[in-house]
Amino acid sequence: MQSIVVHYQELALKGKNRPWFIARLVRNLKEATADLNVISVRALPGRIEMVLGVETKWPLVRERVTRIFGVANFGLARRVTGDLDAVASSILDDLGDTQTSSFRVKTRRTDKRYPLTSPQIDREIGGRIKTVKGWPVNLSLPDLTIYVEMLTDSTFYYFDKIPGSGGLPSGVSGRVLCLQSGGIDSPVAAYRMMKRGCRVQFIHFHSYPILSKASQDKVREIVMLLTKHQLHSRLFMVAFGDIQRQVVLRVPPPLRVVVYRRLMLRIADHFARQQKAKALVTGEALGQVASQTLDNISTINAVTNLPIFRPLIGLDKEEITIEARKIETYPISIIPDQDCCQLFIPKHPSTKAKLQAVQEAESGLPVDDLVHQAVSEVVREDMTFPGQSQVAD
Ligand code: ATP
Ligand code: MG
């Protein structure tokens, strides 16, 4: 029987939360592979086993498991019962006519009552393999490592240890709401929060019908891609064009960008509270553009009591771009679109918008009405992976 042995990030899983973390990871692995004929996913001492059916396509399962946070590494394994002779002969069967220049056996045992230590088991199994194959043993840099994991009633072995995504299982850290543009930065910010165990919901501000639907399509595609990691996502699409028009009528040009951002945050604050999200997330990096100076960031922050996480605050664009490529959102982000922020953007936005000046500028705006209108017209989209997306109202 083929299984996948999944190891989680040990250090993160200490203490009282451990069983809960593991249960969540089991559930996430189950959901992520729900359509791939995986027979069972269950927690064993120190690891998780995913039992594969005869029909299961390993490359597909492998790709899915790679995206699940909380997984340190995993391997396609066989599970056998019986003594060391039985284990060694099963390994030899599976090796078939594999050739290698050197090898080692690396054992972990969960049951410390077992009469042999791990290095002794390495030697016992390794000796049997060496006798048949004649391969030299190399403990420091072997060409082939045979991983053996002895549990109380059975033994796993596998030949390839695949790195996982690391981080914490999606959902264990609570919910946050990410302000999601179609740009390069905010998808990376969302990914980073997901990796720390947050369930990320998304809010996008668009200027349709003044501008095209391109930004919405891009954001939808980005969220669908990120949903492969967290399996369930919610996206709020908010019409922002009218609000921007009102700002243009009443707010002096240098302050407009900060006023747009404050309005975005007020609306985001509403949905975060409604959804019981405990923080907002943005893709801002200090000094990257005019709205992201220290002065402007603090003036923007003042509209909400929720914490605002900016996981990219200390990164260069170059560093963010490398990460965006790695998580595969980059090709979507660079598709040309007309983001609402390019609309009505003044030539010389203030880089030092003081709170008092901004508040004065906003006093001519029906802020509550604008927020209320945006909230009442929101379009909500729920996405599930694997599966379809759904538009609700
Ligand atoms: P990004 O690449 O994420 O768009 P950016 O460098 O273009 O970032 P800004 O346009 O100043 O920077 O946006 C800063 C942050 O504000 C974004 O990272 C995002 O969190 C939020 N934001 C900007 N535009 C929108 C939008 N249309 N809808 C939702 N959030 C937005
Ligand atoms: Mg942007």
The domains of the chain are located at 3-163, 175-392
Residue 192 CB-density burial (10 A; 0-12 exposed, 13-18 middle, 19+ buried): buried
| Residues 17-76: tens digit of each pLDDT | 889 999 999 999 999 999 999 999 999 999 999 999 999 999 999 999 999 999 999 999
The answer to whether domain 3-163 and domain 175-392 are alike in fold is no
Among 3-17, 89-103, 148-162, the range scoring the smallest mean pLDDT is 3-17
Q: Which is it for strands 174-179 and 144-150: parallel, antiparallel or unpaired?
A: unpaired
The pLDDT confidence band at residue 189, using thresholds 50, 70 and 90, is very high
- Determine whether the shortest distance from the Cβ of 288 to ligand 1 is under 6 A: yes
Fold for domain 175-392? Rossmann fold (3.40.50)
Ligand sitting nearest the alpha carbon of 177? 1
pLDDT score recorded for residue 347: 74
Ligand sitting nearest the alpha carbon of 190? 1
Shortest CA distance to 324 belongs to which of 164, 179, 166, 183?
183
Determine the residue of 178, 179, 269, 299 to mutate for testing ligand 1's pocket, defined as the one with the most ligand atoms within 8 A of the Cβ atom: 179
Ligand sitting nearest the alpha carbon of 206? 1
The pLDDT confidence band at residue 12, using thresholds 50, 70 and 90, is low
pLDDT mean over 201-222 = 94
| Rounded Cα gap, residues 248 and 141, in angstroms | 65
| Residues 266-315: tens digit of each pLDDT | 999 999 999 999 999 999 999 887 778 999 999 999 999 999 999 999 99
Residues contacting 211, CB < 8 A, separation 6+: 241, 338, 340, 343
Ligand 1 nearest atom to the CA of residue 289, by list position: 11
Give the CA count within 13 Å in the CB-facing half-sphere of 240.
30
Ligand 2 center to 347 CA (angstroms): 16
Other CB atoms within a 10 A radius of the CB of residue 111 amount to: 10
| Smallest CA separation from ligand 1 atom 6, residue | 185
| Residues 94-125: tens digit of each pLDDT | 999 999 999 999 999 988 888 999 999 999 99
pLDDT score recorded for residue 114: 86
SS3 187: helix
For residue 393, is pLDDT > 60? Answer: no
- Determine whether the shortest distance from the Cβ of 146 to ligand 1 is under 6 A: no
Ligand 1 center to 179 CA (angstroms): 7
Ligand 1 center to 185 CA (angstroms): 7
Residues contacting 297, CB < 8 A, separation 6+: 284, 286, 310
| Rounded Cα gap, residues 304 and 302, in angstroms | 6
pLDDT score recorded for residue 193: 98
- Determine whether the shortest distance from the Cβ of 282 to ligand 1 is under 6 A: yes
| Residues 223-256: tens digit of each pLDDT | 999 999 999 999 999 999 999 999 999 999 999 9
Decide: 33 and 63 in contact? Cβ < 8 Å: no
pLDDT score recorded for residue 13: 64
pLDDT score recorded for residue 342: 62
| Residues 68-96: tens digit of each pLDDT | 999 999 999 999 998 999 999 999 999 99
| Residues 304-349: tens digit of each pLDDT | 999 999 999 999 999 999 999 999 999 999 998 866 666 666 777 8
**CA separation (Å) from 359 to 6, 36, 54, 262, 303?**
53, 55, 65, 10, 10
Ligand 2 center to 183 CA (angstroms): 5
Name residue 74's amino acid: F
pLDDT score recorded for residue 248: 94
| Rounded Cα gap, residues 9 and 306, in angstroms | 30
pLDDT score recorded for residue 75: 98
Ligand sitting nearest the alpha carbon of 257? 1
The pLDDT confidence band at residue 212, using thresholds 50, 70 and 90, is confident
Among 92-96, 196-200, 216-220, 349-353, the range scoring the smallest mean pLDDT is 349-353
| Smallest CA separation from ligand 1 atom 24, residue | 181
Shortest CA distance to 344 belongs to which of 226, 219, 260, 235?
260
SS3 281: strand
| Smallest CA separation from ligand 1 atom 8, residue | 185
Select the CATH number that applies to the domain covering 3-163 from these four: 3.30.470.20, 3.40.640.10, 3.30.2130.30, 1.10.10.60.
Answer: 3.30.2130.30
Global pTM reads 0.94
